Structure formats: C-alpha cells, structure tokens
Amino acid sequence: MPMPQLSPALLTDRYELTMLAAALADGTSERDCVFEVFSRRLPHGRRYGVLAGTGRLLELLAGFRFGDAELAAVRAQGVDDPELLAWLADFRFTGDVDGYAEGDLYFPGSPVLTVRAPFGQAVLLETLALSILNHDSAIASAGARMVGASCERPCIEMGSRRTHEESAVAAARAAVLVGFAATSNLAAGARYGIPTTGTSAHAFTLLHDDEAAAFRAQVAALGTGTTLLVDTYDVEQGIRTAIEVAGPGLGAVRLDSGDLTVQATRARELLDALGATETKVIVTSDLDEYAIAALAAAPVDGYGVGTSLVTGSGSPTAGMVYKLVERDGVPVAKNSEGKRSVGGRKRAVRRHDADGTAIAEVVTAGAVEPRDGDRDLLAPLVRDGELVDPCSPAEALAAARDRHRVLRQTLPAEAFSLMRGEPVIDTVTA
C-alpha cells in the first residue's frame, strides 16, 4: 500500500517532458541555452526580498534522476515516446548554475539563478527550481520583516500546523535563515541542525484536574526554567499559580490570547510584584510583522510566530519565473502583453555608496563599468553538473544565515519601514 518514494524528478510539470520530446525529435534539445530565474516585481508594497531555497535546490539536484520507478510512473501517464524515455533514463544534469548567494537580498529583475545547459536538461529543472525558490523566498521575505520589527527580541517559528507538512520544514529553515532563533518543527531540527523549542498547549492544562496540577507536572519534568502557558482560564490567576508552583525563578510565561499589549503589561507588573523579575513574557497568537511592531513598547521578551510567517504574511509565493534568455549565444525574449522579457544572459552588480549602503541593483546583458563599492551578485554554484561548494544542509543554512545578517545591514534605513512603498533601491537595466 505505501507508495515508493519517488525522486524529485517527478516534482515536475508534464509540459517539460512534452517540450523535451518535441525537441529531441527535431534536434533542438542540444541547443545551448541560458535560463534565468527572476521576479518581475516584489509583493505589493514590499521594500526588498530575501532569496532563500538555493541550498535546498542544490541538495535535490543530485537525486534528480529518472530511475525505473519514475519511468514507470510517467509511462503510466501516457508518456510513451521511446526516444524521450531513453533520454530520461540516461539523464543527469551536466550544466552550470550560477546564482545569488542564498540569504542575499533581491529586487525586481534580479537574476537570482542562472542555468546554462543544453535545452533538454535546463528545461527539466524549471518546475522544481521555481517551487523551491518561490516558496522559500516568500517565507524568508516575510520573516525578515518580522525579525526587523522585533527589536532584537527572539522570534520563534511555530507555524507547522498552518501549512503543508513538508512546507513546514522548509518554512522553518527559511525563518531561521532570516534570523528566527528557533523552530517548533522536529524535522527541521533534524535536517538542518537548527534549535527546536516547545513547552505545552492548552490541552496539557485541560488534561489535568486543575491548572496547578498541570504546572507542577511540567515543572517536575522540565525544571523551573520552562515556559508555562497561563491563559487557559484566567491570566492573572494563571500567573499567580505559575509562580506558586515554580517559584520566582520560573523561566517564562506564555500569553496566547486577548490584547497582547494589555496582557503583557499586566503580566509583567504581576510577575514583578510576585518577585519573579527575571521571568520572561512570551507572546503568541496570530502575530505578524505589524502586530510585532505594535508590541515594541510592551514588556515582551519573545515572539512565537505561526500562521503569518508560513503563509508569507499575505504573499505566499514570490512570483519568480524561469525564462529562456539565450539560445546558442543569441539573446531571445518573448513579447507577450504585460509579460515581456529581456533577452541575453545578465550580469548583476549591487552598487553601494561610500558608507556601504546599497543604492542600486544593476542588471544588464551588457558590460558594467565598475565603480567603487560594486559587488558582483552572481557566483558559480554548479559546474559541469558538480556542486562547486559541496556542504551539508546544516552548513549551507548556517552560511546563508550569517550572510543574510551581514547583507541586511547594507539596506537603506527605509527598507525596514513596514509601510507599503516601492523597492528600496532601483533596478538599473542600462
């Protein structure tokens, strides 16, 4: 009954195979092609984007093969061209991939990934590359705004239950990439070596005969450093009970309902009055970047963020596309209404002022006259099908997290406004 685990090669739109079959038949499948991934615009009102997912894509690339099970699966769907099936059986990616480093910023038109390979190879990667980059970049871009609004207080990702079970793992990764301190998701901890946290739900209190019994059980099992959830019945009584049970050394209380500014202020006052001056106040409950910003002046020590993070805070996909820009060295572009593309393989440079603040994203198929403060944005990721810098998933994430922390310092201050506006730097295409 359980399905065999199929390779990532099947996480692909059927039309990639159809195009490949037709290209094999007329001899164009070997034409040297350059595809670029970019986004025509940022989500409505966002000031910058954060590229995420490149590491996950590179992880999956080696396993992107059509073995017997995958070939049987496509045959069962009526894909029966013998030349195509033979080609797929032998397929392995032998091309080159360049890209923005994961964790870097991006803007409209930024060529965040460039794939150069014979058409047949490059076209096959479209769906998987876009799925990963669109999802992970959407989450990272939303998460970065939350971290920016948090005034350096820790944010914890806890949205697994609000998104597909595997998206949850990728969302946790993207959140940590942009500065979240930890996740609730055990699989993300296992795959990426990131910290996981979690204490208890209302159900744990309701399981017990009374709140005090629940708190005693939790403190006995986890020590007084734990976080007690105090809003199951009455917050004030919950806090009093928590301190009676755990003593003034209790690690934290968690508030998950009501007006969090009011609740947090009252909780802090009460904790202080009870002598629990070091006990932290953690808030959760449908937080997004705006709610986090609104709590800046409240006595809050940490944020648990769920739904809004894993759904991209109103922008659940980054809108990136994968477009053919060069064929046998010739720039090509479509002219479709509202979706015109610019031919030719792009170079991308971020221009900075003397203080190191970003001032422009220069994206051009032509030459760029170098200036002081320019930084080349595209780096080799894959050469002849081999990873340039093989590393573990955990290493890739840690490097991207460090990189993002540094690069976000180069953004102009306006980038961190939550108000809607234009991208904080212009993309210059000349």
Applying the rule CB under 8 A, the residues between 28 and 67 that interact with its own copies are: 28, 31, 33, 35, 59, 62-63
Which residues fall within 8 angstroms of residue 374, CB to CB, at 6 or more apart? 349, 350, 351, 352, 362, 368
Residue keyed to tokens 């479209």: 126
DSSP label of 280: E
Which region, judged by CB under 8 A, interacts with its own copies, from 44-52, 205-213, 243-251, 410-418?
205-213
Residue placing its CB nearer to its own copies in the complex, 125 or 358:
125
Residue placing its CB nearer to its own copies in the complex, 274 or 387:
387
Residue placing its CB nearer to its own copies in the complex, 11 or 406:
11
Which region, judged by CB under 8 A, interacts with its own copies, from 24-32, 106-114, 346-354, 417-425?
24-32
Binders of its own copies among residues 261 to 280 (CB under 8 A) are none
Is residue 133 within 8 Å of residue 54, measured between CB atoms? yes
Out of 88, 144, 158, 305, the only residue in the binding site for its own copies (CB under 8 A) is 158
Binders of its own copies among residues 164 to 203 (CB under 8 A) are 164-170, 184-187, 189-191, 195-203
Query: Measuring CA to CA, which residue among 260, 258, 225, 256 is closest to residue 242?
Result: 225
Copy the structure tokens of residue 430: 């000349």
What torsion do the CA atoms of 232, 233, 239, 240 make, to the nearest 10 degrees?
A: -140
The size of the interface with its own copies (CB under 8 A), counted in residues, is 115
Query: What is d(CA 36, CA 284) in angstroms, rounded to the nearest whole number?
Result: 39
Copy the structure tokens of residue 251: 């690690």
- Does 212 bind its own copies (CB under 8 A)? Our answer is no
Q: How many whole angstroms from its chain centre is CA 306?
A: 14
Residue placing its CB nearer to its own copies in the complex, 202 or 403:
202
Binders of its own copies among residues 220 to 259 (CB under 8 A) are 220-222, 231-234, 256-259
- Other CB atoms within 10 A of residue 86 CB: 12
Is residue 173 within 8 Å of residue 103, measured between CB atoms? no
Question: Residues 305-344 vs its own copies: string with x where CB under 8 A?
Answer: --x--xxx---xx-x--xxx--x----xxxxxxxx-----
Residue placing its CB nearer to its own copies in the complex, 198 or 299:
198
Strands (E), 307-378: 320-327, 330-331, 347-352, 358-364, 375-376
Q: In angstroms, what is the minimal distance from the CB of 171 to its own copies?
A: 8
Q: In angstroms, what is the minimal distance from the CB of 211 to its own copies?
A: 11
Q: In angstroms, what is the minimal distance from the CB of 236 to its own copies?
A: 12
For the chain, first and last CA: distance in Å?
57
DSSP label of 3: P
Q: In angstroms, what is the minimal distance from the CB of 253 to its own copies?
A: 14
Which region, judged by CB under 8 A, interacts with its own copies, from 23-31, 40-48, 242-250, 348-356?
23-31
